[in-house]
Structure 1
Amino acid sequence: MASEKLAEAQVAERVRWHDEEQGRCRTRSRSRTALSRSSSADSLAIRSIQSRGPVDPAITLPIQYRTVSFQIEESKGKERVELTRAADSAAKDLSDLEWHTISPQEVAQRLVTAPGSGLSEEQAKRRLVEYGRNAPSPPKTNHVWTILGYFFKGFGGILLIGSILVFVSWKPLGQPPALANLALAIVLLAVFFIQAAFAMFQDWSTSRVMSSIKDMLPEQCLVKRDGNNISLRAEDLVPGDIVSIKAGNKLPADMRFVDMSLDAKFDRSVLTGESRPIAATVHHTDSNYLETHNIGLQGTHCIIGSGTGIVVATGDRTVFGRIAALTNEPNPKMTTLEREVLYFVLFICGIMLTMIVAVLVIWGAWLKRDHPNWINVATLIVDCVSVAVAFIPEGLPIAITAGLTITANMMKKHMVLCKSLKTVETLGSVSVICSDKTGTLTQGKMSLTDCSVGNVNMAVTSLLDEAKEKRLDAFGQLGAMAALCNAAEMDAATQPGVPVAKRHVFGDATDTAVLRFSESLADGNVAYFRSSWHRVYELAFNSKNKFMIRTFKVIRREALQLTLNNDVADGFGDSDLLVTVKGAPDMLMGRCSHYLTASGSVEPLQPHMVATFERVKDIYSSQGKRCLLLARKTVLSGVVTEQPDTVKYDEAMQEQAKGGLTLVGLVAIVDPLRPEICQVVSTLRGAGIRIAMVTGDFALTALAIAREAGIVSCVQVDKSQNLERTPDLGSGSDDSEEIKTSTTASRGALVISGPELTSLNDHQWQLLTEYEEIVFARTTPEQKLRIVREFQKSNVVAMTGDGVNDAPSLKAADVGISMGSGSDIAMEAADMILLDSFSSVVVAVQYGRVVFDNLKKVIAYLLPAGTFSEFWPVITSVIFGLPQILSSFLMIIICCFTDCAAATILSFEKPEADVLLRRPRNIKKDRLVNWQLILHGYGIIGMTETLASFAMSYWYLQRNGIPFRDLWFSFGQLPDHIDPDYYTKRLNEASSIYFVNLVVMQWFNLMATRTRRLSIFQHPPLFNKATQNLYLFPSIIFSLGMAVIWVYIPSIQTVIDTAAVPVEHWFLPFAFGMWIVLLDEVRRYCVRKWPNGVLAKAAW
């Protein structure tokens, strides 16, 4: 018994997430337990480590796992996740894993692989069949709740309740039972099922679109197969694969580290919620598989450093896959647009309930007593249901989902991939874009154009044109440093016979440019030259240090003559170390004590030479080029006594690089602007969007690129000194709480560097964010994050970037935008990915605005007939005793059929020509439904349609011997000269006329509603590909067909009390419809002619 408890305790220990420093302190009030077995071993609890609060998996999980996001349970305030029996087996599996406790050599032996050559293709194919794709199984779906959601989300519940009530009004309340009520109940029930079917179809369509978007973002990883490095889709990984890892990569599978740089760190917050990075090592650090630092878990990110790992688990066998398989999906939060729609629906429902209560009160207090035969209980129920159905825009939920899905699909065709529909709705209100430079504004295709050694500065083309024997030896040493202090590698598969400039290189853009320069100088012998040196230490480049270090021992001594000047080479021992450094001149210049002259000798670095190098750096920077400094240092054996691959050795190497360096030379790298950037910047600025460049480059470099791109156009550029530290007390009130648009910015241009940002106070930050043109230089990831948050105080902010250092700000921005060529961590943090070019941002902003415009159009179309014109026949019947001139059945037909189809078609409307000439939407003021839209829908179009339809119906009755005066306050009491049967027949005809009049006038309302500001002639529905909507006319034909069916088929006439409409009443509404179009044309003309006038302010 004791042995069983001991074994159980060991299992619990080996599957528990814990914090290294506080893992033993479990008595605190705020628990940090994350994954633990209970003492009974019957359950497995999953909790978030709460050092930074609960993590929203929908935000942090990789895009391909968004559909299997698991809900992290907090220790308080949430119910425990009910797990299945699989929890025990998962816990046992984790406890049995030994990959972290055995040596890398034994791991390779067990998996029958070799770290140097990897698996063979034949082995990989067999294992892919055995283990399956490296992809998670789809999450379990509660089909019952899903199906119920299709029926009862939106307005399905109201339709079902209305149908039941009308059934009751037919029998037993109907005395006698009215066949029209039975038909109405059946139609309501049919609509209930139709809207559920459409919701199901829409969900399937949306899922297909989003799935296709995710399929366009396959994860790639660098894998060694048959001794060659190849780029492989992550889903094709198998156990035993050798995977190379670098900063920015997301681990595609669980792997055992076999070679890691000493600075390598991983972010595991996606699994643990712990924000602190975990240092990676090849050594066993913990008996707990989930806590040891020599295991990399799928879905976590390498934020610094590099290394290699052996894949030990894929797919559902990974820790991520096991947890995802055991837990539930989170409930998505309500988006801004959903909240706006909810407010509108609540507003409409409030009016609806008020009207129903008013009808009930009037009936109970007056009609039931004074006119008992006018409205009985059955009729009252039907009237109340009619009011409810009339007021609720049944087509709105369909139109919203369709609009977002259609827009996401359209953006996908333009190579803009939105990870969620929420992104689509936010894009339309973006007022500031903070853009990274490298790889976003520029092509990310860097080339080394100039180099400087000593006091000689040469263009690379001139250097290469010289015969090899005539080149200065010093430039050969510069090329050697470029080859050694470089993390990039040539792709061996594309090397033979391919020019250096066109060879494929594994590595970042900067290292690629430097490596190609070295290859050109060495005539393609860099690989052999590198093999002459053994690398013993590496510190990868990062945005904080802004330099990289590589340390070597010599293997073949002939390489010394290519690397060092003769005096140093002769004295270099086999155990000596060569420290090579490459990075930003401002970070490394102060560490240099000597420099390499053009003749190849080493001289002390005097102040005049420092000034020379600074001047060269400024020249490069002012030309928009990135400047790098390459340096070296020889360290005699015995000076560094620590063992490699230890923390102390890492500290010793960094200490050696702090001083005594020899400055070998400077190189200039150009990254050309994307060809479309100038036009993109101009278009976005014309759309009222400010663009702020946020980069790590020097201020001179950043400003030069910003001017070339059009981001900065002012001649006079302010600096940090121009930002007042104290506010002007007489400048006005504090409106920091109000969301402003970019047009409020009244200041000119500003260039400011990262170190200067640290000294700004709140007032200076406020002044900074008011500049029209801003360039941020030498920024760190933390400063980028601060910049985004400062802008968010008064703007809706989009952040574009593609690097590791952009990830925090991408996630913090209202819309994070990454390039498709960006790092894994950047693409995961982003909400939207541009696969083609930066010009796609224009398309994204355009369609973001179109979504909001089209939804306003949908509501503007639904309000007049769908609510206003249907409401008044009921009210006039109840209050004024008039016959209900539009039957309840025909109200349902308009709401659920004729109007619903056309409203959905409005979601396909193309952008208006002026959509990018307006300022961004103010999310605090410009609501989806405002008083202007209500005034337009009810006060203008709705009133016009209502009065026209009433006039046509009562005029028809007047022409047929039933004057209006005999109906006013009649409450069903007809004069003796009017035959009841004749009256009923003519009333059915008048009701059908009201119905047809609304249907036809809505055609013209549909045409008028297509544009908010442009004339119908500027935005024609036909013969212009940029504006046409070919679905409009089929929707009109559909509504016409529905009207003909319900009005002209004799069997239907008998059931629902309709009648054939005289032919003139099909054409008279055309005149009223033309009046609607003309009226709206005049309104739009006034808005365009006098944009600040009264009509413009009242325009929707």
Structure 2
Amino acid sequence: MTPEKAAEVQAADRVHWRDVEDGRRRDGWSRPLPSRSNSVDSLAIRSIHSRGPVDPALTLPIQYRTVSFQIEESKGRERAELARVAGTAAKDLADLEWHTISTADVADRLLTSPATGLSEEQARRRLDEYGRNAPSPPRTNRFWTVFGYFFKGFGSILLVGSILVFVSWKPLGQPPALANLALAIVLLAVFFIQAAFAMFQDWSTSRVMSSIKDMLPEHCQVTRDGQLIQLPAEGLVPGDVVSIKAGNKLPADLRFITMSSDAKFDRSVLTGESRPIAATVDHTDSNYLETHNMGLQGTHCIIGSGSGIVVATGDRTVFGRIASLTNEPKSKMTTLEKEVLYFVLFICAIMFTMIALVLILWGTWLRRHYPNYINVPTLIVDCVSVAVAFIPEGLPIAITAGLTITANMMRKHKVLCKSLKTVETLGSVSVICSDKTGTLTQGKMTLTDCSVGSENVTVDALKKDLAAAHESDTLAAFLQLGALAALCNAAEIDAAQAELPIEQRAIFGDATDTAILRFSESLADTSVAYYRACWQRVFELAFNSKNKFMIRSFSLSRREAISSTLDRESAELFADGDFLLTIKGAPDILLGRCSRYMTPSGELMPLDDDAAATFERIKNIYSSQGKRCLLLARRLVPAAALAGLEPGTTKYDEAMVEEAKSGLTLVGLVAIVDPLRPEIREVVSTLRGAGVRIAMVTGDFALTALAIAREAGIVSCIQVDTVDNLDRNPDHVSISRKPAETGSGSEEVDEKKGGSGGVVGGNGRGALVISGPELTRLSDNQWRLLTEYQEIVFARTTPEQKLRIVREFQEESVVAMTGDGVNDAPSLKAADVGIALGSGSDIAMEAADMILLESFSSVVVAVQYGRVVFDNLKKVIAYLLPAGSFSEFWPVMTSVIFGLPQILSSFLMIIICCFTDCAAATILSFEKPEADVLLRRPRNVKKDRLVNWQLVLHAYGIIGMTETLASFAMSFWYLQRSGIPFSDLWFSFGRLPPSIDPSYYNQKLAEASSIYFVNLVVMQWFNLMATRTRRLSIFQHPPLFNKQTENLYLFPSILFALAMAVLWIYPPSIQSVLGTAGIPVEYWFLPFTFGLWIIILDETRRYWVRRWPDGRVAKAAW
């Protein structure tokens, strides 16, 4: 490769834009990559100044937890795929250098002007070349997708059968039989109809959810040809100059060219951290993701104004890259897909066995002894008839329609299903791992208590004392705590609402910082803005889920603020040039770094063991009340400690972090409460009654998490195990809780009914609380023991540990994960069913399979309908198999084995499956939940099949046998009455007595075939009524006059089946082609007696199941 070609290849890998009218490539395209070095700081330090270069491949997993590239728990092929994608994404981001060059160079490279923007002609050409500013849909292999529409399931068998019947018509048919041609055409039509329904299901799935596109603003203000115009966001192209103001959502990745001094952006949609980012024109960091002179698509301008040049659109934006990863489909099959595959294999095994039997009988017996009975074309049609008999052609249509119907019913209950196939999976869920904040709780945090030294007060009492204007050293100490809360805080108060009370003002930031900042602002006349104006921030380390603390350091700009911020001793020691280091975070992390504490009187005392025990006791009191506890501390950093270090450099940042490791002064503790959602206790109780375990996964302290879990009803046992109760050695007998040790409300529950509040499962394990650090040290045996507990609380967990928890539960259970944050996205993606809240982040919703649009209580509806889907699919199959399989098979086999005429034509078999039965089978999807649907244990996906031996026994051995014998009896009785005795047909093999006219015989045989057909159609109406319930009587679950159980669509489906039957047997034009005939009217009513027998027989079965639930009949019940 020549040097020139190598340069071109390198340039092609970069983000660049060119215009058609510019025939030359800019020199900038060939410049070498900027040097990169490993980050020396794993704490993701963010300075407000520039710092050394950082490799985006190292910072991306920390900042953009959504894609979570470095998850240790990823295994096998998933890990390799994530590593491949991570490397590509990191390289692409590392190659970007729009933030490091001047605004003039940016404009020059993009052939645009900051003043006049692009011309309309330029914009049009770039739009044609680079496409619209919208994320691309997930990549799919169109060939295999379309191939699957046609050939998955029974499609290939139908196509082969159609081709064979075409061949049996011509050239093998001598003479060609029109009935064979009609059968071939109908089989081909069914083949295409099934494919059409598969396409419809795929289309329905793809259109349900597109939140990534919804996140883009609809319009934006753009400068084109020197004029400011409003343009749809999708019409943006690289080089456009976009105007920005407060409240705007950025429509693309921008390089800022002008920015007001107060401009700030909220990047929480990407980073999960709500700390506003100050916007600048010059770059502040060599990392494209960290620098403040870039505006990233999907982020908000919360204050200020400015303008920027579009440098990336669509999939080339940071947002687009992340969206493409979260849109990757799950590779493993859903539980429903597995069950359908199992059923297809089961049916195919029987079908091919029977076809082989027919071929063996023909080749070894019939061809030799009765050569004129079955010729090759007839043999082909007989084999296809066996296939048609066993294949429930209407099943794929019924499944697709049923899932769509159920998804629409769930949508009415504010549950949005992104994939129809995951609906049933939720019904199999046995474990729900639930995030706490925003899911179980309201996400509206309030600071309720605070303490200085040993003095603990409620916020309301403190406000009353301040309002009374009682000056005291104690109040001064609490005011210092308020000042520290204002400084060590990443939230921002909306300046536009200054006239409103603090309780009503909007605050930009995460829920914790918002609660603390609102507390600080409400304490005194000295506002948050005053403190921040007096202290100039020089360093910041943002809070993250691993560090569990944040740091902010300040230099003093206004001397008068010292008295209200520091105690007297510290104020006297603070010299010009010194720094105030403030820190806020988890007490268990920070208490050991403190050497002194401030007393309620404002004095500083050494933090000895007694004082530390006091603070530990206060923290435990807060935690036991379900409140989140944070410690606030400070330290004076002499200027000499940082002498010679330039702010913003790596060494400066490291030195400031080192100062925070010891010598801190503990100012106070604060307690924050996040109220539970009012419906949570009832939801937990209902799910536990349904046999579903709920494991709470949170970042809170173990005591806090346990208190909230008890309040929510997730933990009901009095005695709670810890990691010490989990044996590392698998040879040891593990400790277990006995029923006597559970809460007073606990009781043993019948295994068929599932769990209930406080129940100890069959394995005898009660409740367990375990923290994130302890999880990292567990052995495989301890993980196994952990997942057996009925009540589990995971505290102090990180996103990676959430993912590990999901994967460990998946070893033996079907797992659902609920969450609403960006950091929940990896575990949502990994779970069998990811459930996001509609109030959560858009990336979490994109990673989830299901979205609860209103509240967490909707998960009960989702589980209920998930189980109903499975129950209704069993009912659909139990309804289709008797007439659409068993009763169609025996006319073919009796013809081959006993020499009887095929009493049901192959064409009428298709009519039963695709017309008379299909509508009613689809209507069964509208069946309401049976009364015990949430009183049963979840389905064991390894044992409880969609089609098991009990269902086959019911469909074939009871209902199928009844319908077959009745239909045979009616047909041959009619022939007997018509002068064609059964004795003349038995072992006749096509040979008729001389007394029977062949044309008369063919006419009567067509009528007998239609009688067989009508008999099945009518008896299926009664089978439809009997199949509606599996255990309840038809009188307990009536189809009419009860809003909880009625299904008014049943009767129109019966009328539809009647109309289809009449349509295919009475019109003379159809009769002549298909060999059907009209029947005497009494043969429409005689099947009613057989239908009533089916109702009585099934009512008796269900009574025995209810009366003796452990008896043999119950064990054989489907």
TM-score bracket relative to the smaller structure: 0.7 to 0.9
Indicate if the aligned counterparts of 1:411 and 1:843 stay in contact, CA closer than 8 A: yes
Trace 1:109-128 onto structure 2 (pairs within 5 A): none
Indicate if the aligned counterparts of 2:630 and 2:669 stay in contact, CA closer than 8 A: yes
CA distance in 2, matches of 1:103, 1:607: 56
Which residue identity does 1:572 align to in structure 2?
F
Q: CA separation of 1:243/1:1032 partners in 2, compared to 1, >3 Å: closer, same or farther? A: farther
Pairwise CA distance, 1:1009: 1.9
Look up the match of 1:1077.
Answer: 1095
Which residue identity does 2:426 align to in structure 1?
L
Look up the match of 1:355.
Answer: 354
Return the TM-score normalized by structure 2: 0.81
Which residue identity does 1:1060 align to in structure 2?
G
Pairwise CA distance, 1:1013: 2.5
Which residue identity does 2:405 align to in structure 1?
I
Pairwise CA distance, 1:225: 10
Which residue identity does 2:564 align to in structure 1?
L
The root-mean-square deviation of aligned C-alpha atoms, in Å, is: 4.6
Look up the match of 1:925.
Answer: 943
CA distance in 2, matches of 1:12, 1:478: 56
Indicate if the aligned counterparts of 1:860 and 1:937 stay in contact, CA closer than 8 A: yes
Out of 659, 671, 675, the position equivalent to 1:672 is 675
Which stretch shifts more, 820-829 or 421-430? 820-829
Out of 652, 667, 670, the position equivalent to 2:655 is 652
CA distance in 2, matches of 1:245, 1:889: 66
CA distance in 2, matches of 1:128, 1:632: 57
Corresponding position: 1:485 with 2:488: yes
Pairwise CA distance, 1:953: 1.0
CA distance in 2, matches of 1:325, 1:746: 45
CA distance in 2, matches of 1:159, 1:195: 10
For residue 639 of structure 1, give the secondary structure of its aligned residue in structure 2: helix
Pairwise CA distance, 1:516: 0.7
Indicate if the aligned counterparts of 2:208 and 2:418 stay in contact, CA closer than 8 A: no
CA distance in 2, matches of 1:1019, 1:976: 56
Look up the match of 2:542.
Answer: 540
Indicate if the aligned counterparts of 2:71 and 2:800 stay in contact, CA closer than 8 A: no
Which residue identity does 2:447 align to in structure 1?
L
CA distance in 2, matches of 1:19, 1:808: 31
Trace 1:882-901 onto structure 2 (pairs within 5 A): 882-901=900-919
Q: CA separation of 1:57/1:1042 partners in 2, compared to 1, >3 Å: closer, same or farther? A: farther
Indicate if the aligned counterparts of 2:33 and 2:95 stay in contact, CA closer than 8 A: no
Which stretch shifts more, 533-542 or 771-780? 771-780
Indicate if the aligned counterparts of 2:1037 and 2:1045 stay in contact, CA closer than 8 A: yes
CA distance in 2, matches of 1:1026, 1:108: 67
Which stretch shifts more, 764-773 or 1056-1065? 764-773
Pairwise CA distance, 1:515: 0.8
Look up the match of 1:948.
Answer: 966
Pairwise CA distance, 1:200: 4.1
Look up the match of 1:694.
Answer: 697
For residue 580 of structure 1, give the secondary structure of its aligned residue in structure 2: strand
Pairwise CA distance, 1:718: 2.9
Look up the match of 2:412.
Answer: 413
Corresponding position: 1:788 with 2:790: no
Q: CA separation of 1:249/1:731 partners in 2, compared to 1, >3 Å: closer, same or farther? A: closer
Which residue identity does 2:638 align to in structure 1?
L
Look up the match of 1:959.
Answer: 977
Look up the match of 2:574.
Answer: 572
Indicate if the aligned counterparts of 1:99 and 1:312 stay in contact, CA closer than 8 A: yes
Look up the match of 2:8.
Answer: 8
Look up the match of 1:623.
Answer: 625
Look up the match of 1:403.
Answer: 402
For residue 747 of structure 1, give the secondary structure of its aligned residue in structure 2: coil
Q: CA separation of 1:853/1:442 partners in 2, compared to 1, >3 Å: closer, same or farther? A: same
Indicate if the aligned counterparts of 1:136 and 1:316 stay in contact, CA closer than 8 A: yes
Summarize deviations over 1:934-977 as a string: whole Å, max 9, x none: 11111111111111111111122222332222211112222333
Look up the match of 1:1008.
Answer: 1026
For residue 659 of structure 1, give the secondary structure of its aligned residue in structure 2: coil
Indicate if the aligned counterparts of 2:1009 and 2:1076 stay in contact, CA closer than 8 A: yes
CA distance in 1, matches of 2:607, 2:734: 53
Indicate if the aligned counterparts of 2:418 and 2:849 stay in contact, CA closer than 8 A: yes
Pairwise CA distance, 1:597: 2.3
Look up the match of 1:389.
Answer: 388
Look up the match of 1:1087.
Answer: 1105
Look up the match of 1:244.
Answer: 265
CA distance in 2, matches of 1:6, 1:175: 70
CA distance in 2, matches of 1:244, 1:112: 27
Q: CA separation of 1:902/1:56 partners in 2, compared to 1, >3 Å: closer, same or farther? A: farther
Look up the match of 2:336.
Answer: 337
Indicate if the aligned counterparts of 2:596 and 2:664 stay in contact, CA closer than 8 A: yes
Trace 1:448-487 onto structure 2 (pairs within 5 A): 448-468=447-467, 469-470=469-470, 472-487=475-490
For residue 1066 of structure 1, give the secondary structure of its aligned residue in structure 2: helix
CA distance in 1, matches of 2:855, 2:716: 23
Summarize deviations over 1:554-587 as a string: whole Å, max 9, x none: 2222322321124433543442211111111121
Corresponding position: 1:1035 with 2:1053: yes
Corresponding position: 1:717 with 2:735: no
Summarize deviations over 1:594-640 as a string: whole Å, max 9, x none: 22222333333343332322222222112111111111111121211
CA distance in 1, matches of 2:451, 2:218: 37
For residue 1007 of structure 2, give the secondary structure of its aligned residue in structure 1: helix
Pairwise CA distance, 1:655: 1.1
Which stretch shifts more, 1044-1053 or 676-685? 1044-1053
CA distance in 2, matches of 1:524, 1:1035: 74
Look up the match of 1:777.
Answer: 795
Pairwise CA distance, 1:814: 2.7
Q: CA separation of 1:412/1:222 partners in 2, compared to 1, >3 Å: closer, same or farther? A: farther
Which residue identity does 1:993 align to in structure 2?
I
CA distance in 1, matches of 2:217, 2:866: 27
Q: CA separation of 1:780/1:728 partners in 2, compared to 1, >3 Å: closer, same or farther? A: same
Look up the match of 1:365.
Answer: 364
Which stretch shifts more, 869-878 or 388-397? 388-397
Pairwise CA distance, 1:196: 4.0
For residue 434 of structure 1, give the secondary structure of its aligned residue in structure 2: strand
Indicate if the aligned counterparts of 2:254 and 2:308 stay in contact, CA closer than 8 A: no
Indicate if the aligned counterparts of 1:250 and 1:298 stay in contact, CA closer than 8 A: no
Trace 1:8-157 onto structure 2 (pairs within 5 A): 8=8, 10-11=10-11, 98-103=97-102, 134-137=133-136, 150-157=149-156
CA distance in 2, matches of 1:759, 1:139: 38
Summarize deviations over 1:441-500 as a string: whole Å, max 9, x none: 11111101111112322111111123443251111111111111111112234x244332
For residue 642 of structure 2, give the secondary structure of its aligned residue in structure 1: coil
Q: CA separation of 1:218/1:907 partners in 2, compared to 1, >3 Å: closer, same or farther? A: farther
Look up the match of 2:1038.
Answer: 1020
Which stretch shifts more, 509-518 or 790-799? 790-799
Pairwise CA distance, 1:677: 0.4
CA distance in 1, matches of 2:1024, 2:553: 72
CA distance in 2, matches of 1:98, 1:417: 40
Q: CA separation of 1:157/1:749 partners in 2, compared to 1, >3 Å: closer, same or farther? A: closer
Q: Between the two proteins, what is the percent identity of the paired residues?
A: 72
Look up the match of 2:188.
Answer: 189
CA distance in 1, matches of 2:317, 2:619: 49
Q: CA separation of 1:932/1:1080 partners in 2, compared to 1, >3 Å: closer, same or farther? A: same
Q: Report how many residues are paired.
A: 1006
Q: CA separation of 1:1026/1:1056 partners in 2, compared to 1, >3 Å: closer, same or farther? A: same
Q: CA separation of 1:227/1:414 partners in 2, compared to 1, >3 Å: closer, same or farther? A: same
CA distance in 1, matches of 2:552, 2:112: 28
Summarize deviations over 1:306-346 as a string: whole Å, max 9, x none: xx9996322255478699999x9989654443233222212
CA distance in 2, matches of 1:1020, 1:622: 50
Pairwise CA distance, 1:367: 1.9
Which residue identity does 1:713 align to in structure 2?
S
For residue 249 of structure 1, give the secondary structure of its aligned residue in structure 2: helix
CA distance in 1, matches of 2:216, 2:364: 69
Show structure 1 runs of 5+ residues with no match.
Answer: 23-33, 36-47, 62-70, 76-90, 261-279, 301-307, 733-739
Which residue identity does 2:1040 align to in structure 1?
L
Which stretch shifts more, 708-717 or 175-184? 175-184
Q: CA separation of 1:243/1:364 partners in 2, compared to 1, >3 Å: closer, same or farther? A: farther
Show structure 2 runs of 5+ residues with no match.
Answer: 16-31, 39-55, 58-68, 222-240, 300-306, 736-752, 756-760
Summarize deviations over 1:837-867 as a string: whole Å, max 9, x none: 1112212222222222222222222211111
Pairwise CA distance, 1:994: 0.4
